[in-house]
A = this chain, B = another copy of it.
Amino acid sequence: MKSKITLKDIARELEVSISTVSKALKNSEEISRDTKEKVQAFAKLYNYKPNNIAISLKNKRTKNIGVVIPDIVHHFFTTVIRGIEKYANARGYNVIVCLSEESFDKEVINMEMLANGSIDGFIMSLSSETQAKGDYNHLKEVTDQGIPVVLFDRITNEVECDKVIIDDELGAYRATQKFIDQGKSKIALITTDDYLSVSKARTKGYRKALQESNLGVDESLILKLPSMEMDEGAIKTFLNEKNPDAVLCVNEIFAVYSMRLVQEKGLKIPEDISFIGFTDGVLSKYANPSLSVVAQHGEKMGEVSAEMLIDKVESEAEEESYQTKVLEPTLVIRDSIAH
The quantity of this chain's copies bound in the complex is 2
Counting CB contacts under 8 A, is A256 at the interface? yes
> Are the C-beta atoms of A286 and B257 separated by less than 8 Å?
yes
Q: CA separation between A270 and B280, bound complex, in Å? A: 28
- Interface hit among A90-98, A177-185, A235-243, A306-314: A90-98
Q: CA separation between A113 and B52, bound complex, in Å? A: 9
Scan residues 14-51 of chain A and give those whose CB is less than 8 A from a CB of chain B.
49-51
> Are the C-beta atoms of B57 and A85 separated by less than 8 Å?
no
| Shortest Cβ distance from residue A307 to the other chain B in the assembled complex, whole angstroms | 18
Residue of B nearest to A62 (CB): B53
Q: CA separation between A97 and B72, bound complex, in Å? A: 12
> Are the C-beta atoms of A256 and B3 separated by less than 8 Å?
no
Counting CB contacts under 8 A, is A117 at the interface? yes
Counting CB contacts under 8 A, is A267 at the interface? no
Counting CB contacts under 8 A, is A297 at the interface? no
Counting CB contacts under 8 A, is A221 at the interface? no
Residue of B nearest to A146 (CB): B1
Counting CB contacts under 8 A, is A330 at the interface? no
Candidates B113, B144, B260; contact of A286 at CB < 8 Å:
B260
Counting CB contacts under 8 A, is A194 at the interface? no
> Are the C-beta atoms of B64 and A96 separated by less than 8 Å?
yes
> Are the C-beta atoms of A86 and B114 separated by less than 8 Å?
no
- Interface hit among A76-84, A155-163, A209-217: A76-84
| Shortest Cβ distance from residue A212 to the other chain B in the assembled complex, whole angstroms | 33
Residue of B nearest to A95 (CB): B97
> Are the C-beta atoms of A73 and B64 separated by less than 8 Å?
no
Residue among A51, A117, A287 with the highest chain B CB neighbour number at 10 A: A117
Counting CB contacts under 8 A, is A288 at the interface? yes
Residue of B nearest to A257 (CB): B286
Counting CB contacts under 8 A, is A321 at the interface? no
| Shortest Cβ distance from residue A21 to the other chain B in the assembled complex, whole angstroms | 17
Counting CB contacts under 8 A, is A263 at the interface? yes
Counting CB contacts under 8 A, is A283 at the interface? yes
Q: Residues of B contacting A283 with CB < 8 Å?
A: 282-283, 286
> Are the C-beta atoms of B286 and A118 separated by less than 8 Å?
no
Scan residues 178-214 of chain A and give those whose CB is less than 8 A from a CB of chain B.
none
Q: CA separation between A102 and B283, bound complex, in Å? A: 23
Q: 0/1 per residue, A141-157, Cβ < 8 Å to B?
A: 00011100000000000
> Are the C-beta atoms of B57 and A145 separated by less than 8 Å?
no
Residue of B nearest to A84 (CB): B97
Whether A144 contacts B1 in the complex (CB less than 8 A), given A85-B98, A86-B99, A282-B253, comes out as yes
| Shortest Cβ distance from residue A17 to the other chain B in the assembled complex, whole angstroms | 21
Q: CA separation between A131 and B62, bound complex, in Å? A: 32
> Are the C-beta atoms of A49 and B79 separated by less than 8 Å?
no
Q: Residues of B contacting A265 with CB < 8 Å?
A: none
Counting CB contacts under 8 A, is A317 at the interface? no
Counting CB contacts under 8 A, is A116 at the interface? yes
Residue among A51, A85, A118, A146 with the highest chain B CB neighbour number at 10 A: A118
Nearest first, the 5 closest Cβ-Cβ pairs linking A and B are A53-B117, A51-B117, A52-B117, A256-B286, A49-B116
